[in-house]
Chains A and B, each alone.
Chain A
């Protein structure tokens, strides 16, 4: 049993390392396409963490939606969108902006750390492995019904936004 525990811990560390490495590449990449791939790797690492925490369904959804769809959409946006101009980038990369960005990151990190440290974590008394699809479905449609419906509103907004943008492009092409 000890060996299994070691393997599980090693995998946990490995997934964290994958998440961090992906995040690092996403931020530091020279090409924006490399940044997207870094993001994909980071999200895969998070999927691994979900798996480690005993929720395979969430992990699968993470891979299916974030890696398989969201990253692809971002890559498409990059390929279809206008080419970034060098002088525009210079405007963004000023010293003041760097300071502001750093401060925002630190603030967010600090907030999260304070919450994590201060929260009283209730350890699960028995790990039932009850993250089955039935359980998830029931809790989504009973306990978390409001958030579930709100998410669908967000998706509706996104669809309408996409339609409007597509229509504007069409009008410009016609005129």
Chain B
């Protein structure tokens, strides 16, 4: 078939969808391997060693295993919703890639509300978790889902407030505009508190330790995805790893100067390389935190959010607003 009769935009969409899905899987593989290897080193054991040199092919084998596994649907579950939930978690994940500015030119669409777009996409994840937990018809799943939703709804507030103070300084919601606005000084320097609050809230948003109560394996077996097996389980894991990537890329775009950095030897690609380097450095911190801190209790989790993070982010936002108004030249 002659594809030249098709509109070029359509071909671009198809190709970028393929690239995005490939990237989602690749990212999950890299992160999964990094997580297991780092967990190993932190616990003073070698981690996966058997498949390939240093166990580097372990995740590929795991993927094949998960694809080959049977999808078990519990008899008493809500069938349709039970099957839809993993898709609901996975599909929005691809959408957020539309606005991520990987580098100066490597961005699909520079929406003027890019930041809101990413946050909206990430908020759909809560619905997926709730549907999964409810339709499994299992008390562990339901408890996991309730915890996850309570935690996500609470931590979304400090997250948005801390991002808002950056938006006030940059004067735009477009991700590209925010990167360009922090040309001489990265916002992590002027907004250290907002950065810390955002990162903590981001850990909670992605259900990562020490806030991994929704899937606390010692009390809830596996939380909301207890009943899922095979690929429907791995869709949840893929969504989780991709959401981690999003949280870190928002942090990089808003606080760490996006793609900017010292030009590298491959000049044309140096922006993208810097961006990915920064994102994976933050992801490394996320994994590091997970294997270092014990899980918090649920009341501690909510108290920490409502009594510390939200007041601090509100104060930070007000201070930023006042300073931006008083010295518009400096900020």
Contacts and interface: CB of A to CB of B under 8 A. Distances in A.
Interface of A: 3-4, 7, 31, 33-34, 37, 40, 56-57, 60-61, 63-64, 67-69, 71-72, 75-76, 79, 132-133
A85 B10 CA distance: 52
Q: How large is the interface on B (under 10, 10 to 19, 20 to 34, 35 or more residues)?
A: 20 to 34
Contact of A63 (B7, B120, B153): B120
A40 B127 CA distance: 9
Contacts of B78: 31, 33-34
B146 A79 contact: yes
B116 interface: yes
B149 A64 contact: no
Report the 5 A-B pairs with minimum CB-CB distance, sorted nearest first. A68-B123, A63-B120, A64-B120, A3-B7, A60-B120
A37 B10 CA distance: 31
B153 A67 contact: no
Given A4-B9, A56-B113, A60-B116, A69 B149 contact: no
A119 B277 CA distance: 56
Contacts of A7: 7, 10
B119 interface: yes
Contact of B124 (A34, A68, A79, A132): A68
Nearest to A79: B146
Nearest to A63: B120
Contacts of B123: 63-64, 67-69
A3 B124 CA distance: 31
B113 A72 contact: no
A133 B168 CA distance: 13
A34 B130 CA distance: 12
A63 B130 CA distance: 16
Interface in B97-127: 111-113, 116-117, 119-121, 123-124, 126-127
Output the residue of A34, A37, A79 with the most chain B CB within 10 A: A37
A67 B124 CA distance: 7
